């Protein structure tokens, strides 16, 4: 008799976005004449940069000619793209990443979820709270946790992020093997300094642990002192893997391209305590389970790593960051406390009057028809907080802020 992977039955089910959609629909059905503005989604709204579109089109043309047609090729990605990434993302920051340490993929969600496959089932995993749910759910599916009790999975180590520690996780009090970090953070918008990140790298080296570093929002960092890559920290190549994505950098959420950096020095240990390079294992894993990103998508992505294409993408990022400033100024003017919005597209606000995340959601939609994301949906420590995103269209952001200013708190 066929049996299911019962780990899937442990999943708490992410009702967050379904519940938001349901409440929004109910409100709209009762109030058909009201215009609801959505500042909740973590998806971009601006179109692809012109250079990227030209790259995609050129790639499509090549696919239509027998001389330039591309079939199965290397599943790690084309060298022209990996070389461009090496030169634009890393060398200018003093980080030398070899092209065979760069793996092109369809996105960071896939890789942050899949990478845990390389580690043993008894790996002790630490995740921040609040957290991007993918890291947690992938480990639940793999069987590294117990049941979901009181909003948390047994067996995981949660790193509380709250006002007390400025929403930056502290080193765990018990030993852990795998640490998931994300900076600039989704959902809080918090960034990490080099000194703070160095403490994590030192911890991982001392404890023979590995850090999975999600840098999906690095392009939003404006402060030159804030590290854009964990590899800017000495020794990180021995203990860290970094996930990057063009989703938020270049509007690729629907086009799909990410890249994962697995340094050759990064290792995990076998049962004889022998170090095994993660680069070799990941290469083997991808060769079996992944067959590469479409040629034309890689051609479009290449343009993001040219001066012209990058300038076009930066203009779009500046548009979102201006949105973030407009939202932040609006919140300040009515005395709502928040972090984020300066090196990140996310704004993490304290719900006024001690309201719960969901009560604040209801208040916003009922009183001013603005939809955001209740912090409680990202973990226990998110209760009493609320996430707004700057990915909306400018006119919507301006109207939403005008409405927020009329909020009675
Ligand atoms: C959006 C996002 C990503 C990027 O995911 P893709 O699969 O590349 O679209 C990765 N991590 C976090 C935390 C995100 O919010």
Predicted pLDDT at 73: 84
CA dist 187 and 204 (Å) reads 24
Predicted pLDDT at 16: 87
Predicted pLDDT at 13: 73
Predicted pLDDT at 297: 98
Predicted pLDDT at 279: 98
Predicted pLDDT at 341: 97
Domains and their CATH numbers in the chain:
11-47+308-405 (3.90.1150.10), 52-306 (3.40.640.10)
Read off the tokens for 237: 């190549």
Q: Which residues form the pocket of ligand 1, taking CB atoms under 6 Å from any ligand atom?
A: 42, 107-110, 132, 182, 186, 214, 216, 245, 247-248, 253, 258
The predicted-structure confidence for 97-109, as pLDDT tens digits, reads as follows: 999 999 999 999 9
Calculate how far, in angstroms, residue 105's C-alpha sits from the geometric centre of ligand 1. Answer: 12
From 134, 186, 219, 249, give the residue whose CB has the most ligand 1 atoms within 8 Å, as the site to mutate. Answer: 186
Predicted pLDDT at 42: 84
The predicted-structure confidence for 322-335, as pLDDT tens digits, reads as follows: 999 999 999 999 99
Calculate how far, in angstroms, residue 244's C-alpha sits from the geometric centre of ligand 1. Answer: 8
From 110, 247, 256, 378, give the residue whose CB has the most ligand 1 atoms within 8 Å, as the site to mutate. Answer: 247
Percent of the chain whose predicted confidence (pLDDT) is above 70? 100
The ligand 1 atom at the shortest distance from the C-alpha of residue 252 is 9
10-residue mean pLDDT series, the chain (409 residues): 97 84 96 95 94 98 97 92 98 97 98 98 98 96 96 97 97 97 98 98 98 98 98 98 98 98 98 98 97 97 98 98 98 97 98 97 97 96 98 97 92
């Amino acid at each position: 008799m066929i049996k299911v992977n019962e780990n899937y039955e442990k999943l708490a089910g992410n009702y967050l976005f379904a519940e938001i959609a349901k409440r929004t629909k109910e409100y709209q059905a009762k109030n058909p004449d009201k215009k609801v503005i959505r500042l909740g989604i973590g998806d971009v709204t601006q179109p692809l940069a012109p250079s990227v579109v030209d790259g995609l089109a050129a790639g499509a043309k090549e696919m239509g000619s027998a001389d330039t047609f591309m079939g199965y090729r290397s599943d790690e990605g084309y060298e022209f793209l990996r070389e461009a990434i090496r030169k634009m993302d890393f060398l200018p920051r003093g980080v030398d990443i070899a092209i065979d340490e760069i793996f092109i993929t369809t996105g960071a969600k896939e890789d942050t979820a899949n990478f845990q496959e390389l580690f043993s089932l008894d790996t002790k995993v630490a995740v921040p709270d609040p957290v991007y749910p993918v890291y947690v759910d992938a480990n639940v599916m793999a069987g590294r946790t117990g049941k979901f009790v009181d909003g948390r999975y047994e067996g995981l180590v949660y790193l509380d992020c709250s006002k007390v520690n400025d929403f930056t996780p502290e080193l765990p009090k018990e030993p852990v093997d795998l640490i998931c970090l994300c900076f600039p953070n989704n959902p809080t918008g918090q960034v990490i300094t080099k000194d703070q990140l160095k403490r994590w790298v030192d911890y991982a080296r001392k404890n023979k642990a590995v850090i999975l570093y999600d840098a999906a929002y690095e392009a939003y960092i404006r402060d030159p002192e804030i590290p854009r890559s964990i590899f800017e920290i000495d020794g990180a190549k021995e203990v860290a893997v970094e996930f990057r994505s063009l989703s938020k950098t270049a509007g690729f959420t629907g086009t799909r391209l990410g890249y994962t950096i697995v340094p050759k020095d990064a290792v995990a240990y076998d049962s004889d305590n022998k170090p095994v390079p993660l680069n070799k294992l990941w290469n083997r894993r991808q060769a079996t389970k992944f067959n590469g990103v479409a040629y034309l998508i890689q051609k479009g992505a290449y343009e993001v790593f040219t001066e012209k294409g990058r300038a076009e993408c930066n203009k779009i990022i500046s548009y979102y960051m201006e949105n973030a400033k407009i939202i932040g100024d609006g919140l300040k003017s009515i005395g709502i406390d928040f972090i984020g919005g300066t090196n990140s597209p996310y704004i993490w606000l304290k719900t006024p009057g001690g309201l719960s995340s969901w009560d604040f959601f209801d208040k916003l939609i009922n009183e001013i028809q603005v939809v955001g994301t209740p912090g409680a949906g990202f973990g226990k420590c998110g209760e009493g907080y609320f996430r707004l995103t700057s990915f909306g269209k400018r006119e919507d952001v301006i109207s939403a802020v005008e409405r927020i200013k009329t909020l009675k708190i």
